């Protein structure tokens, strides 16, 4: 019988983000899953991650990516 663990995949938004702000998506990859954080910048993303998941430590982060979100001038209406 195989004992595979389901990987974590959680998403958080920074308290400083809102519908009127252009935010970026930061993906933090850890050994047992992934955390997605919508934030204004990488410092805000790190703070939001650690606020929501205090057991995660900087040494636990294996990889981080940043995906820029479109600004109001770059979107189609």
> What is the mean predicted confidence (pLDDT) over 73-77?
64
Confidence of residue 10 (pLDDT cuts 50, 70, 90): confident
Please tell me the distance from the alpha carbon of residue 23 to that of residue 63, in angstroms, as a whole number: 20
- The two most distant CA atoms of the chain are separated, in Å, by 54
Secondary element (H or E) of residue 10: strand 8-13
For the record, the structure tokens of 57 come out as: 């430590």
The order of strands in the sheet holding 33-39 is 8-13, 33-39, 24-30, 61-67
For residue 44, pLDDT over 80 is answered with: yes
Residue 1 binned pLDDT confidence (cut-offs 50, 70, 90): very low
The pLDDT confidence band at residue 53, using thresholds 50, 70 and 90, is very high
**Residue 77 DSSP class:** -
Structure tokens at 59: 């040494």
Please check the confidence at residue 18 and state whether its pLDDT lies above 90: no
pTM above 0.85, yes or no: no
């Amino acid at each position: 019988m195989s004992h595979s663990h389901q990987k974590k995949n959680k998403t958080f938004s920074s308290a400083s983000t809102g519908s009127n702000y252009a935010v970026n998506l930061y993906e933090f990859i850890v050994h047992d899953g992934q955390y997605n954080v919508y934030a204004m910048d990488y410092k805000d993303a790190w703070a939001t991650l650690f606020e929501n998941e205090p057991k995660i430590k900087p040494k636990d982060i294996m990889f981080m990516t940043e995906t820029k979100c479109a600004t109001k001038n770059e979107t189609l209406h």
